[in-house]
Amino acid sequence: MDQFLINGGQRLRGSLTVNGSKNAALPIMAASILTEGETVLKGVPNLDDVQTLCHLLKQLGVNATRDAEGDLRLKVEDEMNCHAEYDLVRRMRASVCVMGPLLAKRRQARVALPGGCNIGDRPVNLHLQGLKALGADVELVSGDIHLKAKKLRGAEVFLGGPFGSTVLGTANVMMAATLAEGATVIEGAACEPEVIDLADYLNACGARIIGQGTTRIKIEGVSELHGSEHTVIPDRIEAGTLMIAVAITNGDAVISNCRVDHLLAVVDRLRAVGVIVEKKADGTQVSSSRRLEPITVTTQPYPGFPTDLQAQIMALLCLADGNSIITEKIFPDRFVHVAELNRMGAKLRKEGPVVLVEGVKRLVGAPVMASDLRASAALVLAALIAKGQTRISRVYHIDRGYESIEKRLNAVGADIKRVQE
């Protein structure tokens, strides 16, 4: 098992490039199950989660290969298997996004209850509620969700939940509805850019979807979909992580392939802290003042501050000159990184879904353990500025969402070594 050894205190300077979005690519890859012919996806990052879904798609009869240019080519060759087995699904929660396409195209789906990061309860009841509204019969069989439908029919579906809408649930219902008979209206739909990207891909394949990016999406069912070529949007979570990496080291870097319009809430909070974010001809320039202001941060569904950047901004606020408050409204238990940051000298106190951050003068290197994808990123950020050396174990978590993060940060001045435990 790999570890990171990080010697802190190096300022990041130079140029960084944001990769394609993992969270956009995975549902689009699953949507290829719906299509006849070949799909070519450009900009898909080379991540463990992408490889896991490729393996799952191959089990489901989809040929998934990368060509010489790095593009991902997907083509359905066998429609017999409809079972997404536990051995693969347990590794990644996003595997559940094959449920809607399998049901719509093959009239049944058997999908193991999903795994993924340890960030709190994330039930799939809204997914099932939406698919049942389209005509699916649902039962639990030996730990698998088994769905069947002789025919899917359009319906009005509400996907609002206690912590906002569901991104993957919106994706599953939208994908299933593309081949349903008649019109489907999704109320309380997720508005994230990743949902828009999926809808754009499906429309390029012949679907009839309008309203993506709003809380009301309408889908007119069609009889079939064809393959298409599509470029995945840049990863807004990676972009935000790189911005915070530059800021926490008091660095100065230009970040290219960065969609600032997908990060307005993040940029607002960073500027409130004292981070300078400016659009340039060659990208987005990020730098920061030596004094960081304390702020309040509340995670919300898009376009609010994303839960996937909560841990990273917490690392930054550990060094603010005063007390900050972070409230988690999407996954109230998503605070496993708090104890590890405290091991590095932070002063964090958790009170329910709120963390009180008392700024400190410095962080210190320590052995810490990554517990989930975004917590791993937060520990890397903290280690970049900590005095001395930090050893981060279980970095396979970070490999799920950040491609060669140590090489890319080292190229702009970091000191990170990947070693065997």
Identical fold for domains 2-16+235-420 and 24-231, yes or no, is yes
Pairing type for strands 62-66 and 72-76 reads: antiparallel
Res. 121 pLDDT band, cuts 50 70 90: very low
Looking at the chain, the whole-number percentage of residues with pLDDT higher than 90 is 90
**Mean pLDDT along residues 251-274:** 98
The whole-angstrom separation of Cα 236 and Cα 230 is 18
Give pLDDT tens digits for 372-391: 999 999 999 999 999 999 99
- Residues 381 and 15: their CA atoms lie apart, in Å, by 17
What pLDDT shows up at residue 106?
A: 98
* Catalytic residue list: 117
Q: Which CATH superfamily hosts domain 24-231?
A: Enolpyruvate transferase domain (3.65.10.10)
pLDDT digits 0-9 by tens, 161-193: 887 789 999 999 999 999 999 999 999 999 999
Q: Residue 153 and residue 156: Cα distance in Å, rounded?
A: 10
Q: What is the mean pLDDT of the chain?
A: 95
At 96 the pLDDT is 93
Instruction: Give the model confidence (pLDDT) of 353-374 as tens digits.
Output: 999 999 999 999 999 999 899 9
Closest CA to 100 of 55, 139, 130: 130
Q: Confidence band (pLDDT; 50, 70, 90) for 119? A: very low
Alpha carbons 208 and 48: distance in angstroms, whole number: 32
Alpha-carbon distance of 229 to 78, in angstroms, equals 21
Distance between CA 299 and CA 309 in Å, rounded?
A: 9
Q: What is the pLDDT of residue 128?
A: 94
Among 167, 110, 176, which residue's Cα sits nearest to residue 138?
110
Q: Under CATH, which number does the domain 2-16+235-420 receive?
A: 3.65.10.10
Continuous segment of H or E residues that includes residue 230: strand 229-231
Whole-number Å distance between alpha carbons of 414 and 81? 46
> Which DSSP string do the residues of 45-57 spell out, in sequence order?
---HHHHHHHHHH
21 compared with 86, residue with greater pLDDT: 21
Domain-by-domain residue ranges, the chain?
A: 2-16+235-420, 24-231
For residue 345, count CB atoms less than 10 angstroms from its CB and return exposed for 0-12, middle for 13-18, buried for 19 or more.
Answer: middle
Distance in angstroms (rounded) separating the CA atoms of residues 288 and 412? 16
Q: How confident is the model at residue 1 (pLDDT cuts 50, 70, 90)?
A: confident
d(CA 308, CA 235): 12
pLDDT at 196 over 90: yes
Distance between CA atoms of residues 155 and 149, nearest Å: 14
pLDDT at 114: 73
For the chain, what percentages of helix, strand and coil (3-state, to nearest 5) are there? 35, 30, 35
Q: Residue 122 above 80 pLDDT?
A: no
What is the C-alpha to C-alpha distance for residues 60 and 76, in angstroms, rounded to an integer?
A: 9
State the DSSP code for 194. H
